């Protein structure tokens, strides 16, 4: 051909070397670009994960603030209810008033005598547990009807010890409704003393299942983020090690 060009062997070797060098440079650039994309994707995933966790923490914080305010109002209502019992068992109107206040706050209450025989439960208690007034009034054992196979035995033991000692108990336990479904119950039991002797106990029932599940979700998210950080660190160390070997 008129356009054919002949190269001597040395020239061919130089051209081949230039080609191979260009190919290697191109390959390294592709690898660098891919690594950059991976790092960028990892950073974006981390940023999205942090944003989701931060949003969940903000929601949890707002819920805690609202919960603290409600608990403060509840504690005041319980104290006033206990005072009404202590002042006179005949102050039915005052007792009903504070029981109604606890209803408004979404707190279930149960009143027992010193022997743990149920004397009264309010409407919120029946709504949360599914048990009716007729189911429990006159029955011994207080709130034992809410216990089940997965209820923490150690928490129940602490509760029983506090009752026997005439002391206040507070805790969160897994309880059972009448239909067998479970819920997380934030329990408070307060002794009522008349003339210095414990005559009744007032207990509260508060369904905090959403709060407990949110805390568990946050815990799992934090654990997943920690595992992702460890995996990313291990990948970086492996990449650095392979770079040194080359």
Query: Is the distance from CB of 121 to CB of 109 less than 8 angstroms?
Result: yes
pLDDT of 1 reads 44
pLDDT of 231 reads 84
A 10 A CB-CB count for 16 gives 10
What is the full DSSP assignment across 92-137? HHHHHHHHHHHHHTT-EEEEEETT--EEEE-HHHHHHH---HHHHT
Phi, psi for residue 213 in degrees, rounded to 5:
-70, -35
From the list 185, 201, 110, 190, the residue with the least C-alpha distance to 150 is 185
Judge residue 197's burial from the number of C-beta atoms within 10 Å of its C-beta, 0-12 exposed, 13-18 middle, 19 or more buried: exposed
Query: Is the distance from CB of 120 to CB of 141 less than 8 angstroms?
Result: no
- For the chain, the average pLDDT equals 75
Question: Is pLDDT larger for residue 92 or for residue 54?
Answer: 54
CB hemisphere CA count around 153 (13 angstroms)? 1
Q: Which of 93-107, 122-136, 170-184, 190-204 has the lowest mean pLDDT?
A: 93-107
Q: 172 by DSSP, 3-state: which? A: strand
pTM over 0.85: no
Question: Is pLDDT larger for residue 92 or for residue 175?
Answer: 175
Given a cut of 80, is residue 31 above it in pLDDT? no
């Amino acid at each position: 051909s008129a356009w054919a060009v002949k190269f001597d062997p040395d020239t061919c070797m130089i051209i081949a070397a230039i080609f191979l060098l260009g190919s290697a440079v191109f390959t390294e650039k592709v690898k660098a670009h891919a690594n950059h994309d991976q790092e960028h994707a990892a950073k974006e995933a981390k940023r999205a994960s942090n944003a989701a966790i931060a949003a969940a923490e903000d929601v949890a914080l707002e819920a805690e603030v609202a919960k603290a305010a409600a608990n403060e109002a509840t504690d005041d209502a319980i104290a006033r209810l206990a005072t009404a019992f202590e002042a006179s068992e005949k102050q039915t109107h005052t007792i009903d008033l504070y029981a109604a206040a606890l209803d408004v706050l979404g707190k279930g209450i149960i009143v027992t005598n010193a022997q743990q025989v149920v004397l009264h439960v309010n409407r919120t208690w029946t709504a949360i547990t599914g048990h009716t007034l007729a189911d429990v009034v006159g029955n011994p054992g207080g709130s034992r009807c809410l216990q089940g196979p997965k209820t923490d035995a150690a928490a129940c033991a602490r509760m029983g010890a506090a009752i026997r000692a005439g002391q206040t108990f507070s805790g969160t336990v897994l309880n059972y409704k009448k239909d067998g479904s479970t819920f997380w119950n934030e329990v408070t039991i307060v002794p009522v003393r008349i003339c210095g002797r414990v005559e009744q106990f007032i207990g509260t029932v508060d369904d905090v299942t959403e709060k407990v599940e949110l805390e568990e979700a946050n815990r799992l998210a934090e654990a997943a983020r920690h595992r992702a950080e460890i995996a990313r660190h291990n990948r970086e160390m492996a990449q650095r090690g392979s770079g040194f070997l080359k």
